[in-house]
Amino acid sequence: MPSCLLIAGTHSGVGKTTVALALMAAFTARGRTVQPFKVGPDFIDPGHHRAACGRDSRNLDGWMLSSQHNQHIFFRASLDADLSIIEGVMGLFDGSAATGQQGSTAEQAKLLKAPVILVIDGQALARSAAALVHGYATFDPDLTIAGVVCNRVKSPGHFQLLKEAIETEAKVPVVGYVRPHDRFAIPERHLGLHMALEGRSPDFYTALGEWISDTLDLAKLEKIASSCASFPLTENERTDKGGQSPVPHRVRVGVAYDRAFCFYYPDNFEALATEGAEIVTFSPLTDQALPEVDLVYIGGGYPELYAETLAANTRMREAIRAFAACGGIVYAECGGLMYLTQGIRDHNGQTHEMVGLFPAEVVISQDKLTLGYRQVEIVQSCAIGEAGLVGRGHEFHVSTLEAKGPLAFSCRLWDAQGREVGYDGLMAHNVIALYTHLHFASQPAIPRALVQRAHAVRSAVIERV
């Protein structure tokens, strides 16, 4: 069983991302192979994880995925790592509902038997820090907090006061503190932190790791990590060195990947590969033509920030329209959906022309945030499967769809509490676009349907030729 640490927080914004990144970078600099993970449906933090330790970060989620899927993702990705570091989501016990643990960091900690390092904001606390930690340490008797990190602590004297109070009265070891420094603050925007692709050099993460090395007890943390308990696995899972046997490539999948489109689950790519897909990338921002592919996959991201550049690249927009007109399969999520409409209307009211596969405009409004888990049921057979198929994912966007003509939807939506919340899945021939980011591990029939449909279209073209 690999060594493991789960970095949790008392609440969102407490600094768990900073601590997790610093530890990833610090242990990587010491020669450890670090495997990162993120609890919850997040694409931005995993990008920073990858920049900090050079490995794709995997998402773990108790609402979108089954316990077995989460364990399998964790075990497979950790097999060749010296240390796995999991960054939690929101506060330690926050999940998909006000009561119950589903979707929470605590749920994953118990599922994976992972030692929890709790990050607290110590800047305005003294003895009260002990009461805070005591509450978190005793709230769930099945969960053990193995250590505490005090964030935003300016002096060794303040830290010693916090350490004595917490260890004496809450009976939880304190493994160090993090001093505030403007250099290591990652700017935020409407959907979270700025992305790692937006100019953060490797030196930033290296310096962050060095910054915390003097105030965090890395040796103690590594010892805590080695105490990670094992969980039951089947013999196949224990001997699995990287997934199923290679499948002969049946189709080529062109994935849009650049600063405008970079929100993808690595497990989605693996699911497509398992079905026989070869993944190639292209950039709607800079490339003038599509690569030779049978399926186009345009994920989420920030197309609204690059709308002018996307609009100016008329050759790529024409190439995608031509691909769709010839019957090519196009699958898009959130930012990809925005790109496939007639245009994106920005905060200033200016509309930037997009691909135009759907008679609608997307209107950006930072005052209207749509956020939440989604259960997606296909109600009209389409490129992602037959009617009745159900998958899970999440919505996270600040835009709304404004119809300019008749729109056809292929899916019905429910939230995490089982309430129906409308329709999704814009459909036009072999094109399907959802606001929902689907996690393919929640429904393996979806990537299978995409590859099979793309292969069928390719075979039909070959026969005609």
Catalytic residue positions, numbered: 334
What Rg do the C-alpha atoms of the chain give, in angstroms?
Answer: 23
Q: What is the token pair recorded at 462?
A: 């070959």
Three-class DSSP labels, 180-228: CCHHHCCCEECCEECCCCCCCCHHHHHHHHHHHHCCECHHHHHHHHCCC
The dihedral built from the CA positions of residue 201, 311, 302 and 77, taken in this order, carries a sign that is: negative
**Do 361 and 341 meet the contact criterion of CB atoms below 8 Å apart?**
yes
**Do 178 and 153 meet the contact criterion of CB atoms below 8 Å apart?**
yes
- Measured CA to CA in angstroms, residue 336 lies from 53, 152, 276, 434, 435 at distances of 28, 38, 23, 8, 8
**308: enclosing H helix or E strand:** helix 307-312
Residues 188, 130: Cα–Cα separation, whole Å? 30
Q: What is the DSSP string of 84-146?
A: EEEE--SSTT--SSSSS-TTSHHHHHHHHTPPEEEEEE-TT-STHHHHHHHHHHHH-TT--EE
Q: What are phi and psi of 319, to 5 degrees?
A: -65, -40
Give me the count of residues in the chain. Answer: 465
